[in-house]
Amino acid sequence: MKPEINVSVDEFTIVLHPEDEFTLKKWVLNATQMIHSFEEKSGIIHLFGKRNILERPPQGYKTAYTYGEHPFYFAIGFHESYVKMGVIIKFSALAWSFYQTFYLNRFEQEIHVFQFVQNIQCEDLYTVRLSRFDLAIDYLNFDIEVDSLYKDLTSEPKLMVIKNINNRINNSVISGMVANNVSNTMYIGSRKRNVNILLRVYDKKIEQIETNGYFLKEALAYQSWIRFEVVFKGKYAHQITDSLMDITKFELYQNYLINLFLEKYQFYQVNNDELILHPISDILFKALKSETLDQTLYSPRPINNDLVSSLLYIIKGSGLFPILYKVEQIWGDDQIELLFEFIYYIYKSRFNPNNDHRAWLEKNNKTLKTVPFEEILELVNKLIDRRNK
């Protein structure tokens, strides 16, 4: 398969800060007005559904809301006693992916983060500022292994180094998640909460297959899928906000995201004390010069694969097939059809869905209806074939 790169934004958090100073008595009213303005400018109610109280607010915030019933985490909220905390808007990676999907379906055009932050501006009421911004670079169908990168970066002497745009070597702590002497995930930088930048490199294909994730279909289609994911917080996120506000074209946005990564992380191979640009960085520099760069930024459609997991369990772990085998051997193949008719009869006449079943349906009905059931079965079949190899 042809090697490709994809540049995208994973999760991000925005804080709306009031333009004017308010007394604490007026803060709740003003915060509510800010939320109403955001709702109108983002179209969040049209895309996600009506506003609901959120029982799990973002950390440090007391009052929070979400919209509709969905399988992802989205929150908007404030704290009644702390005006300076502003109004927080938190998109999980999955929430943003669904927002992009719903937006495309409704308005027949794509939306990206630079357009989103510009769309929700309200100069009379608040300023928009990112507090977190996760950038993802995906290497699809490349001959890259996380374990090899980890060992080259941590070996003595080093076989690989990382430099920034100022030619300074990155001496951050490098840690790997090692299992069976193999690392499929590594971190470059401290994982403490107050750190403003952290790079995670991991095998996205393995992650999606092991968890039956929302992008399982894509993971099964690629020969390999390695993700470089950078978390920017604090001052870095604030600087990114300013840059996004000035971007006017999609092509400039793509270039900006790639340059943002290369400013902090350029990988070099060490060969007889000579530093040679590693292919994972070289491909990014080439992408900046490519006339087909617009093909490298996309947002795949997320699919909840709970049904895939359940079907796999029925087929591989529930004992159904041994029962079918016994029935077939004792009473013949035609009695298997009778067994399924009996199971269907029991389901239709005896099964009563509980609250958990209804809640799951409420959260997933809208998104799964757009996915043909044949596609779900195809994923199950591919996973069975993969596990039987």
User: Beta 160-163 vs 174-179: how paired, if at all?
Assistant: unpaired
Inter-residue contact 17 to 127 (CB < 8 Å)? yes
How far, in Å, CA of 88 to CA of 227, rounded?
Answer: 27
357: Cα within 13 Å, side-chain hemisphere: 4
Q: What tokens appear for 15 in the block? A: 């804080």
Residues 79 and 57: their CA atoms lie apart, in Å, by 10
- pLDDT tens digits along 333-362: 999 999 999 999 999 999 999 999 999 999
**DSSP letters along 310-349, please?**
HHHHHHHTSSHHHHHHHHHHHH-THHHHHHHHHHHHHHHH
Handedness of CA 84, 88, 93, 99 (dihedral sign): negative
Does the structure show a pLDDT above 90 at 63? yes
Residue 300's pLDDT band (cuts 50, 70, 90): low
What is the SS3 string spanning 222-282?
CCCEEEEEEEEEHHHHHHHHHHHHHCCCHHHHHHHHHHHHHHHCEEEEEECCEEEECHHHH
Question: Predicted confidence band at 299 (pLDDT cuts at 50, 70, 90)?
Answer: low
Per this entry, what is the length of the chain? 389
According to the per-residue pLDDT averaged within each range, which of 1-5, 115-119, 154-158, 367-371 is highest?
Answer: 115-119
Residue-averaged pLDDT of the chain: 93
Give yes or no for residue 156 having a pLDDT over 60: yes
Q: Which two tokens stand for residue 115?
A: 């357009």
| Residue scoring higher pLDDT (224 or 302) | 224
Three-state SS at 121: coil
Q: What is the pLDDT of residue 180?
A: 87
pLDDT band at 27 (very low <50, low <70, confident <90, very high): very high
Q: In this predicted structure, what is the pLDDT of residue 303?
A: 84
Tokens 């035609």 -> residue: 334
CA distance 238 to 151: 34
Measured CA to CA, the distance from residue 79 to residue 62 in angstroms comes to 5
Q: Give the model's pLDDT for residue 241.
A: 98
pLDDT band at 295 (very low <50, low <70, confident <90, very high): very low
Query: Residue 334 contacts by C-beta under 8 Å, 6 or more apart in sequence?
Result: none
Element (H, E) at 150: helix 146-154
Q: Please count the other Cβ atoms lying within 10 Å of the Cβ belonging to residue 139.
A: 23
What does each C-alpha distance from 224 to 1, 30, 55, 346, 389 come to in angstroms?
10, 49, 38, 44, 17
Mean pLDDT of 307-330: 92
| β partners of residue 228 | 137, 201
Which conformational region is residue 137 in: left (phi greater than 0), alpha (psi within -120 to 50 degrees), or beta? Answer: beta
Nearest by Cα to 9 from 114, 87, 131: 114
* Domain ranges within the chain, ordered by starting residue: 4-294, 306-388
CA dist 258 and 245 (Å) reads 17
Q: What is the pLDDT of residue 20?
A: 78
- Residues 132-154 have pLDDT tens digits of 999 999 999 999 999 999 999 99
Give this prediction's pTM: 0.88
What is the β-pairing status of strands 182-188 and 4-18?
unpaired
Share of the chain above pLDDT 70, in %: 97
63 burial level (CB within 10 Å; 0-12, 13-18, 19+): middle
CB 216 within 8 A of CB 209: yes
Res. 293 pLDDT band, cuts 50 70 90: low
pLDDT of residue 23 exceeding 80, the answer is no
